[in-house]
Structures are given as C-alpha cells and as structure tokens.
Chain A
C-alpha cells in the first residue's frame, strides 16, 4: 500500500461525478472496476486520478466491459474487499447477468447509476429509465437531489450495504447531466470522521474465499432434481427480509450521519411544505429543486400545495409515503421515466400501490417529464400544480400528462 494523502474537511466546488469519486476515496474502497460510459465517464477519470495521485489506495481494474466489471467485483467482495463501480444505460444493460446475482449472493457492493435514458430512440442524455428498469432485481436504490447528497449518500451506502441485517448491494442514483455535470458547493468531510462513521470493514463475514477453509458459493438449489424447493424459497425470503430491514437501517444511518456531520438528509421520503397542504406533488431526484421553487411560489400566492420527495425507491417506503399523503385531496407524481404497459410513470405506479395504506381513496395523476435530458423547470411544475389543484377540486382523474411534449 502506498502512502495515502487525505484532506481535512473542506469546501470544494465540484460536480456530482467528482463528488461520488470523493466519497469512494473517503470510504477507503479496496477495489474499483469501471468501464466508461456517458454520462458517467468523468467519474471514472476522477477515480483513476485519485488512485494515481495516491488519494485512494485502491486497486483499479481495467476491464473489457461492464459484465466483467461486476464479475471482478463479486470475486473481490467474496475475498473481503470493499468495492465500487458506476455505470448507466447501455452499460448497465450489459452488466445485467452478474447484476441479477449480486443481491442473491448478499454482497454489499456499492454502485452509482449516473442515470441515463435507455435506447432507442438514440440518446446519451439523462433520464431515470435505466435505473427504473432494474428496480425489481433486489438492489437497494436511493436517488439524490444535490451534489452534496451524492457525496454523503455514497459514503452512507457502504454502512447500509454492510449492515448485518441488510447485506445487499446499493445503487446510489444521480441524474445524468443535471447532477453528473452540474457543479455546486460541496463539503468534503474529514477522513478520520468518515472512517469512524463507517467503522471496521466487515464485508464478507458470511462467505469468504479462502483456500484454507474451502466452500462453494452458490451451489445448486431448487425443486426438480435438486434438494427441494424449500431451500430456494428460504433464500428468497431471506433476501426480501434484508430488503425490508434496510428501511430501518437507512433511516438510522441517515440520522447518525446528521448527528456527526450536521447534514440531515431525508432517508426515505422528504415532506416539503406539507403542513396544511390540500394537494401535493411527488418527485424524485434532481427535479425536486425546481419543484420546491414552484411550491414556494405557489404558497406565496396562497395555494395550499406541498411536495413529497422519494429518496429511497427500493425498498419502497410505502407506509411513509401513504402517511405523508394521507390528508391531501389529490396528488400528482412526476416521473423521469415511463412504465411500459401502464402508460404512466413507475413512481406513480408505486405511489398508488402504497396508497392502499391510506384510510380513503385519493385521486392521483401521473406526469412524465425530463426524458432524454429535457429540462424540468419551475414553469413545468407550475403546470403540474395547476392540474393537481383541478384534480383536488373535481376528483376527475385524467390521462398521463407528458410535460415536455411541446418543448
């Protein structure tokens, strides 16, 4: 190990990709395998630079593609390394086979998805379609709103992933273009404090590749001809339990972070201006900034509108969301991706499913915007607020609204 240089806590101006690389450096990751893909590429460059400059004492593996990225990291994780990668869009698609296996192996990998819309139509711009397409696979998913939240969440992700009650891989999602390349003020915490927060590495207490103590990881299970279906069911149930446990762990870890570093990020959902709100918008990711501005402006005009931001998307904070929206007359959900076959956004689908916990049926509408890098401005959210206000008045649910259709 070469000497590792670490800065004291300081303020920098950086974009989300650099913030993620700083977080990886502060988390003392042992092994990084990454393959560049727009809009994630500069993140790879920052990591390579940090390693070359001696800021991060990690191995970086040059791989021939994303399938190898995750295969390499699975091996590293099984051997006890803290690991990191980042990808998006077509790269994430190429990674899908080992991506599926990672949560079942209960490997606490952390991976940034610098979200990008999926092909086709051809596009290299941001959108949540890639991350939303892998939402049911068993990775924890958290969506960031700001550059600072990218840095803080990436560090917290290790503590969440490696928690013994969780032991699942975590995706930290930040919006391609808007967070990946948008520079902002960012506070870098001090190395010693981050190390204290994360504690000792305990990555592979459950499986360990060790020639002195041989074991086979992932032997054959299942019904026909195997040891019976109950083995498979047991592990699947265990995986689901880890997912549900993470709701509590994510909350605790965010509270701990807030106490230590003074930055309190909402762990599951954030209620903004929801006191006495008659109707509300639900948002996810970086669009939330513009949406909050629109809420502030509407409140100043006397409109009783609030906002709920979803940070943790998998596991879905169903009860928290239902609780936050329990008293509104209507709500609108703004998605940056689509759910094919439902003609609405995936967050909308999850939100209305969650409302089974609400005491009554609340009319809701789906809005889709910001696809392929399209800007979601305050003006768009003012339109959303107007439509949801109408809905609160007449209760007549309309078809999905495409916000950038005429832009």
Chain B
C-alpha cells in the first residue's frame, strides 16, 4: 500500500474498551465471498449500458465492443443479468 501523506489517528491514546475504531484499512472485497458471477456473451452485447446503469456497486467496466465486470468488487447480485434487454448476461456458480 502507498505511504499516506496524512497522520494516522493514534488509537492507543484512548481506553481499549471505549469505542470501536479502526485506523488500519482491511480490504474485504465482495469478490471474496460472491457465490454467483456474471458472464457476458460478447456476440449478444450491444453496449446499451443498461447493466452499467443498474449495477449497485458500479463494477461494470466498458471494453471496446462490450461491457465486462470487475470481479473484485462484483457481489454477484445478478441485477445486470435480470435487466439486460439482450439477455447477454448469464449468472454462473462460482467454483466451490
């Protein structure tokens, strides 16, 4: 991780049983626990951007001729697949 320019809050200055605070980022992305993933059929995708509009976590990424997904942040909700007018998106199970 990049060195931050600002000073971190010194949590040791307050009693350890007072208030839950965190000063160290611990990234836990939805991609770590997703159970279904979207797969786009490039032949069917017309780049209408409906998936891009509806995605609640903004993980839809624009490619040259189709839309794809950032699977680190996609939580697998399937809204894109439901909303896609071309039925170009299929939800498939993540491997166990």
Contact = CB atoms under 8 A, between A and B. Distances in A.
A271 interface: no
Interface in B33-75: none
Interface string A185-218: 0000000000000000000011110111111111
B41 to A, nearest CB: 35
Interface string B1-35: 00010111101001111111111000000000000
Given A208-B9, A211-B6, A216 B17 contact: no
Interface stretch (A87-95, A230-238, A279-287, A363-371): A230-238
Given A206-B14, A238-B17, A213 B22 contact: no
Given A106-B19, A212-B6, A214-B9, 13 more contacts: A104-B20, A206-B15, A206-B21, A207-B14, A213-B7, A214-B23, A215-B8, A215-B22, A216-B21, A219-B21, A234-B17, A235-B18, A238-B17
Interface of B: 4, 6-9, 11, 14-23
A210 B23 CA distance: 12
Nearest to A165: B15
A255 B23 CA distance: 40
Contacts of B18: 106, 167, 206, 235, 238
Q: Nearest 7 CB-CB pairs, A to B?
A: A238-B17, A219-B22, A216-B22, A215-B9, A106-B19, A206-B14, A213-B9
B20 A219 contact: yes
Contact of A212 (B7, B11, B19): B7
Contacts, number: 62
A379 to B, nearest CB: 50
B17 A235 contact: yes
25 contacts: A106-B18, A205-B14, A206-B14, A206-B15, A206-B19, A207-B21, A208-B9, A212-B6, A212-B7, A213-B6, A213-B7, A214-B6, A214-B8, A214-B23, A215-B8, A217-B21, A219-B22, A231-B20, A235-B17, A235-B18, A235-B19, A235-B20, A237-B17, A238-B15, A238-B18
B32 to A, nearest CB: 11
A105 interface: yes
Contact of A218 (B4, B9, B16, B20): B20
A217 B6 contact: no
Interface residues of A, number: 25
Contacts of B9: 208, 210, 213-215
A215 B11 CA distance: 9
Contacts of A106: 18-19
Contacts of B6: 211-214
Contacts of A214: 4, 6, 8-9, 23
A5 B9 CA distance: 38
Interface of A: 104-106, 167, 205-208, 210-219, 221, 231, 234-235, 237-238, 241
Q: Which of B11, B14, B17, B21 has the most CB of A within 10 A?
A: B17
A210 B21 CA distance: 13
Nearest to A240: B17
A207 B19 contact: yes
B14 A217 contact: no
A208 B14 CA distance: 12
A217 B18 CA distance: 12
A313 to B, nearest CB: 24
A268 B51 CA distance: 61
Nearest to A213: B9
Contacts of A104: 19-20
A216 B19 CA distance: 11
Contacts of B8: 213-215
Nearest to A219: B22
Nearest to B33: A225
A106 B14 CA distance: 12
Contacts of A235: 17-20
A207 B15 CA distance: 11
Nearest to A237: B17
Nearest to A211: B6
A215 B20 contact: no
Nearest to B5: A212
A329 B4 CA distance: 69
Contacts of B15: 206, 238
A104 B16 CA distance: 13
